[in-house]
Each structure stands twice: as structure tokens, then as C-alpha cells.
Amino acid sequence: MPDLSRKARLALLAGLGLVLAGGGAAIYAQIEGDRGIPPIASNGDFEVSGIEVNTTGKTAEEARANGWKQAQRLAWEKLWKSNGLGGGNAPALDDGTIDGMVSAVVVGQEQIGPHRYIATLGVIFDRARTSGYLGMQGQIAHSAPLLVIPVLIEGGVTSVFETRTPWQKAWAEFRTGSSVIDYVRPSGAGADSLLLTAGQISRRSRNWWRLVLDSFGASDVIMPIAKLERSWPGGPVRGVFTARRGPDNLFLGSFELTAPSEDKLPAMLAEAIRRLDGLYAGALAAGQLAPDPSLSMRPDLDPALVESIVAKLGPVPTATTAAAGPDAAATTAAVPTTVVTVQFVTPDAAAVDAGMAAVRRVDGVKEAATTSLAIGGTSVMRVTFAGDIDALAAALRAGGWRVTQGAGALSIRK
């Protein structure tokens, strides 16, 4: 099968089998629907948000400029407390030095009058120009790439990427540059809404997880879960936030936050993500975020086990070609291998594991790898077999499979 782009691979993984099963129009609509929020690019800069200013000036422009300068000073003090290695109060830097470290000012909300400026701002500091003042030298250890599946429970409905949600939006806007966690954040567009669902986090199949993680270039998975409850429409919003990780859905920690009104919900979600980032960073420091070894596509072999097997086999006998007759030469000739495409029906994740295991058990199969996965439809695997396609088809029939043979391909079903 030719190499496919990531978008094409995801479309095949999530939708090909269901299209073949007769749901083409519905699946196309679900993949191409109006969904997805691209995450902002994170270049490693420091961001300090939630800076409130209230300044005056002779004109509206002067009041705003004074507010931005005050926000930069307050942000520098806050950044020092959270990242400075020297402790104590932040060094007293002049406005020109601080302004030279700032790469952008983010306006959360602002009110501008003729002589007054009230706003909530965020300040982004350039990492290269700021690290020296913070005393940060050398490299900082980061986690392995972790796929983020943001789960929202709201109004009795659990969702991930099926629709655009405030929880997904908050994760897309989170600046990960200053975090020690290497977050892999899907946009939620295209086939992401089919692959990454709330039901996905309860699956335990390692084969399934390997394929999903490989599609996004991640080593493991984390599931930040937000459960929102509203006292009344427009009233306080109570949120329970939980940090989970891994294919076994392991619990790392949880906490509660409350937004006094609906318009304060984005700020509460942003604060929740910062605290969740702290939980994951603490788990990394405690050694709890090491990639699950069962998700490795290349299993590590114990050298001692290899040596013991070699010792039991004994020395390899040397064949004397002079004494060997034509029959011996025929038996030692290498058997040609054939690469065969095998299609098999996969109504659920368990059927994927069962089909792969059954094919791998066939004598002569050297390798079997899934090239396209479609839960609820027809998946495809590539099989390397020591023999021709007819022999493989016969072996599968002997194993109880119904086999339909084509040109270089087989279709099997129970």
C-alpha cells in the first residue's frame, strides 16, 4: 500500500470500513462537519495571563499605554515568582529592559474611556531574551509526546471532538511552551471526531492504542476530564477536573473550581488547565508519566533470555555441500516469500485483536501488520508469508476462515 499522508491515514482508519458497510454519506458528513479548533503554535515563550490594570492618562491612547506598561511590570514580577530560580522578589528592571523582553501583549478584555483604561491582559515574554534574567541555564527535561484527549461532561452528555466545546477551545488556546509536558493536541477536525471519542478512553486493546498513537506521533496518552454543573442558566458554574493517563485510564489527581457566572467560564477553564498541567508535571517528576512499555511497537528482548535460548539450541551444524545430494540441496533452498493484502471484518476492537492473532498463528506467516483500521467495517493488514498466496489461503481455510481470493489480496471472515 503506498504511503499516505496523516490526514488520509486518519480518514482510512476511522471511516473506510463504515463506508464499505453502506454508511458512506453519513460518515462523510460526520468527518467533514463544522468542527475542529486548531491549537495555537507554541514556540517556547513564557506567557503570564490574568493581569488586571486600571490606569489613567491625558488621552485614551496614553491611558492604554500606561496600562500596558503596568501590565508588563506586574507580569515580570509574576513570572519571576513562578519561574525564577533565585527566589525572593523580582529584580528591579527598568521599563525599557522589560519591554525588550516582551514579544506580545494579549488583550483578554478591556474598557477604554477618554482618560481611563481598565483591562485584563496577558503578557508573552521571549524565552531567549528572558531566560538569562530568570537564571535558567541548560536544558530542561521534558516528557515523551503525550496525546491529549480532552473529555467534557456537561448536561449528562460526554463529548470530545464531536462538536466545538469550551473545554476543547481552552486546550487549543493553552500555550505549552513553558510546560515540561510535550502535549500532542489534535485539532478535532476530519476523522479526529471518529477516532478520539469518550468511549476510546475505556478501551484496553494495546493494538488499537498503538495504531491511534502512531497516527498522531505520540508515545502515550493523557485524558484531562472536565465535568461542568450549572446551578441555573447564567448562574455559577461548578467544575470538577480530573487528570488521567495511559490506556488503563490511571487516576493522577482532581480538584474543583467555580465560575461565578457564565462569562467567567473561559477564565475558569484556563485556570483549570494550568492546574492540570501542574498535576501532570508533578507526575512526570514522580516517574508516573513514563511511556507504557506495552505500547512500544518494538518490544525489548531480555539479553539473558536470548542467551539462554541460544545455549539450549547448541552449536549450529555445518553442512557439507560435497556430501549433500540433490535432495538435500532442494530441501535447503530458500522458500520465496509473498506479501499479501488481507481484508477482515472488524465490528469492534476485540475483532481486530482476534483477526491479527489468528493470522499470525498460521504456519509460514513471518509478519502481519495493520495498514488500515476501521472499527465497525473492514480493516486491512499486510501479511508476509513464506509461500504463495494459494498456500496462505489454504492455511486460513484450514483454520476455519471463509476466504475470497483476488489478485494479490484475500478477504477473510468467520
Model pLDDT for residues 56-69, shown as the tens digit of each residue? 999 999 999 999 99
pTM across the whole model? 0.56
Question: Domain end: 83, 115, 134, which one?
Answer: 134
Q: Is residue 357 part of a domain?
A: yes
Q: Is residue 323 part of a domain?
A: no
What residues form DSSP beta bridges with 183? Answer: 146
Confidence of residue 299 (pLDDT cuts 50, 70, 90): very low
CATH of the domain at 66: 3.30.1660
CATH of the domain at 380: 3.30.70
Question: Domain end: 113, 134, 155, which one?
Answer: 134
* Segments forming the whole domain that contains residue 153: 139-295
- pLDDT of 229 strictly over 90: yes
> Residues 291, 171: one domain?
yes
Q: Looking at residue 66, what is its pLDDT?
A: 93
> Residues 239, 175: one domain?
yes
3-class secondary-structure state, position 325: coil
Highest mean pLDDT among 26-35, 85-94, 103-112, 319-328: 103-112
The 3-state secondary structure of 333-397, one letter per residue: CCCCEEEEEEEEEECCHHHHHHHHHHHHCCCCEEEEEEEECCCCEEEEEEEEEECCHHHHHHHHH
> Residues 156, 258: one domain?
yes
Q: Is residue 313 part of a domain?
A: no
> Residues 162, 225: one domain?
yes
> Residues 53, 167: one domain?
no
Number of domains forming the structure of the chain: 3
Q: Is residue 402 part of a domain?
A: yes
Q: Is residue 121 part of a domain?
A: yes
Q: Is residue 17 part of a domain?
A: no
- pLDDT of 130 strictly over 60: yes
pLDDT digits (tens, 9 = 90+) for 254-264: 999 999 988 88
> Residues 92, 156: one domain?
no
Q: Looking at residue 290, what is its pLDDT?
A: 82
Nearest CA-CA partner of 362 in 393, 339, 407, 331: 393
**Cα–Cα distance measured from residue 14 to residue 27, given in angstroms and rounded to the nearest whole number:** 9
- Give me 4's grid cell: 499516505
Confidence of residue 315 (pLDDT cuts 50, 70, 90): low
**Which of 286 and 328 is assigned the larger pLDDT?**
286
> Residues 89, 165: one domain?
no
> Residues 146, 290: one domain?
yes
The average pLDDT across 208-228 equals 88
Question: Domain end: 101, 134, 167, which one?
Answer: 134
Highest mean pLDDT among 236-245, 288-297, 398-407: 236-245
Highest mean pLDDT among 29-43, 211-225, 394-408: 211-225
